Chains A and B, each alone.
Chain A
Amino acid sequence: MKKLLLLLLLCCLIPALCQAETLKIGLMCPLTGKWASEGHDMKNIVSLLVEERNNLGGVQGKTIELIVEDDAGDPRTAALAAQKLSSAEVVAVIGTYGSAVTEASQSIFDEAGIVQIATGSTSVRLTEKELPLFFRTCPRDDAQGLAAAEAIAKRGFKKVAILHDNSSYAKGLAEESRNELKKLGVGVIFFDALTPGERDYNAILTKLKTADPDLIFFTGYYPETGMLLRQKKEMGWNVAMMGGDAANHQDLVKIAGVDAAKGYFFVSPPLPQDLNSKAAKDFLASYKEKYKSEPVSVWAVLAGDAYKAIESAFALKHSDAKSIAGYLHKLSGLQGFSGDLGFDAKGDRIGKFYRTYTVNGEGKFVIENE
């Protein structure tokens, strides 16, 4: 009987002893459901980085243990996943993608005292709650308007016509940009919406032409952008045109034609393949070696940035949630895979994240160097 008890005690102790040697972090991502491809990218990226770090001997002499949970891109599943990760006693969690999904898990992690770094959740209100342990590596919805306004001001445009397509995304970006442009002293001389999904935008372009802008900023998606560029060219009207990250699709040039698309520019988060930094290049090389492809979604790459932030906290001997959060709130200038990484007091990412892409003479998107 005594032997049996001893054995039981050992059984309990061994995992506990082992646990002391690892730093546990969680990854919550959509491995099934409509965002499954982003979720798999997130898992690939983070597990690759953890593996690399452990091969180099881990941090603080401990190995990093990654626990992955599927949230299916669904708030209810996310709440369950969050509870599982909490009972696995992770110190920090990366994820997740959709804003509503992240929101469902926020308070669970907060109550369990776990640091959460969301990766693709751009909804403004997530950080307005000012939860002390919540961060995100993606920009907020209102950051793009500011980036667009700055790109416009930098290029010296004076009379901007803003056009959206009445979708909540494009309308939000259009309104945000109008406000930011006002602050920068750039005139917005026209503001209206077109009907998405149509083929003929000549009537709209004719009307725009009477307003005589020096830049058209259409905040909607690439199919309509392509049609506008093409029909503008056919009208013989050489006015500059720009867009937001919904225009970041190679079909844009196919629809517009290379001639009409030349000189078009848009603001968008950069992909690592477009960045020159050493962190981005090294990461891309090992990603290609392991998975034989390039990451396609920038939102998945942001999970790598989240991991990078946690790892740097570990490296400085921050190993409980409170001190990690304290460190992250002051972090700035850390080299991430999508540019410099840092967080403000609310947990939002700081620094310039959006970059400007221009279509060149061969119809390729070229990132503008800062």
Chain B
Amino acid sequence: MEQFLQQLLNGIAVGGIYALVALGYTMVYGVLKLINFAHGDLFTIGAYLGLTLLVSAGIAGALPLFAAILLVFIMVALFVALIGFLLERTAYRPLRSAGRLSAVVSALGASIFFQNAIMLIYEPRVYVFPDFLRPTFTISLFGFTFPGIRLFIVGVSILLMLLLWAFIQKTRVGTAIQAVAIDQDAARLVGINVNKIISLVFLIGPGLGGIAGLMVGLYYGQIDFTMGWGYGLKAFIAAILGGIGNIPGAMLGGFLLGIIEALAAGYISMAWKDAIAFFVLIVILIVRPTGILGERTAEKL
């Protein structure tokens, strides 16, 4: 029983990051019906940029640690959001009338471009966040010990997701995003600037991805230029699992995938945990092709 609860916590911690990355996929898909394969690489850019700002640019030395990290989180979010915005302008907008397949190929191309650009700018080796940046306090709760920072990551993930959900559901701009997701032409007819809304989506999604990348870098301490691929793939799966295009679905899918992986590793086989997680995905998609929460296709997001 104790092992079960511990594995559950492990799964939730990993799932929180999957969920945060999945939000970027799901928002873009909800609005544009485009799978943004470059999202995982925007996540990597967030991690590298955070390291550069904190260490090479010396922000970590100039300010108290907490303030420095907070500032760098904001800077990374803004910068990666800007890259996402430019990505949409250059790689996706010119292809918007050309059909979905062209856009997906363009997204794959953008992913390869980013990955190689990171490799060439920073060398193709593992980078390590210096020890003093990584908070290591442990929390003991009901007989379980786990690092406080994991709790913090899960908390931040949930908070960001709730904020995003509230933004989409409760504000005028959020309503406009929903309208564009349902029907772009109709949205244009009621006076919504569709291009602006799509640009906004490409600011929010990559911004969240960048934050997730920096969180992974800060907590796990080790980054390399291919890390976005693994997280991107898992988050993509999480988005589909929960019902792609659906924000609560992305959250649910992320946590579920993390938990399935942890339990598979704990109770069945460590080497087979990914295979088991993907098998569960296949079963869920056979039973519910739209994903767990993806039933009302007309009201995505």
Using a CB–CB distance below 8 Å, which chain A residues touch chain B?
166, 192-195, 197-200, 202-204, 206-207, 209-210, 223, 226-227, 230, 234-236, 251, 254-255, 257-258
Contacts and interface: CB of A to CB of B under 8 A. Distances in A.
Nearest to A223: B126
30 contacts: A166-B271, A192-B269, A193-B270, A194-B271, A195-B273, A197-B230, A199-B220, A199-B222, A200-B10, A203-B7, A203-B261, A203-B265, A204-B265, A204-B270, A206-B10, A206-B262, A206-B266, A207-B7, A207-B265, A207-B270, A227-B220, A227-B222, A230-B221, A234-B147, A235-B145, A254-B131, A255-B128, A255-B221, A255-B222, A257-B221
Contacts of A197: 226-227, 230
B132 to A, nearest CB: 10
Nearest to A195: B274
Given A235-B145, A255-B221, A203 B128 contact: no
Sorting the interface of chain B by its residue count into under 10, 10 to 19, 20 to 34 or 35 or more gives: 20 to 34
Contact of A203 (B131, B138, B224, B273): B273
Nearest to A257: B131
B204 interface: no
B45 interface: no
B147 A251 contact: no
A206 B226 contact: no
Contacts of B6: 206
Interface in B1-45: 3, 6-7, 10-11, 13-14
B147 to A, nearest CB: 4
A203 B262 CA distance: 5
A230 B220 CA distance: 9
Given A197-B226, A251-B126, A258-B131, A203 B266 contact: yes
Nearest to A200: B14
A33 B9 CA distance: 47
A251 B128 contact: yes
A229 B22 CA distance: 29
Contacts of A227: 220, 222
Contacts of B7: 203, 206-207
A198 B230 contact: yes
Contacts of A251: 126, 128
A204 B262 CA distance: 8
Given A195-B273, A203-B11, A234 B226 contact: no
Contacts of A230: 221
Contacts of A198: 230
Contacts of A203: 7, 10-11, 14, 261-262, 265-266, 270, 273
Contacts of B145: 235-236
B115 to A, nearest CB: 14
B208 interface: no
A254 B266 CA distance: 28
A206 B3 contact: yes
B270 A194 contact: yes
A202 B138 contact: no
A234 B221 contact: no
A193 B275 CA distance: 13
B251 interface: no
B14 to A, nearest CB: 5
